[in-house]
Amino acid sequence: MPDAVLLGLVSAAGLTHELLWDAGPRAQHRLGLVVPALPPPLRELVAHTEAAVGAAVLCGVA
């Protein structure tokens, strides 16, 4: 499960392309299945991380 959480956080930060730069479409599809399968508290963590990253981008925080 730690790998799935890490993938969720990478995805939330918008770094999926950098992580899976050499992966095929199957890996991209699999990523879309891993995060929704996380337990609710971890899905919420990923969602909050995505919101925080989005807010930081909009505010220009580096």
Mean pLDDT of 52-58: 89
Higher pLDDT, 33 or 61: 33
24: left (phi over 0), alpha (psi -120 to 50) or beta: beta
pTM over 0.85: no
Exposure letters 3-15 (e unless 16+ CB within 10 A, then b): ebbebbbbbbbee
Q: What's the rounded Cα separation, in Å, for the pair 45 and 24? A: 27
Mean pLDDT of 38-50: 96
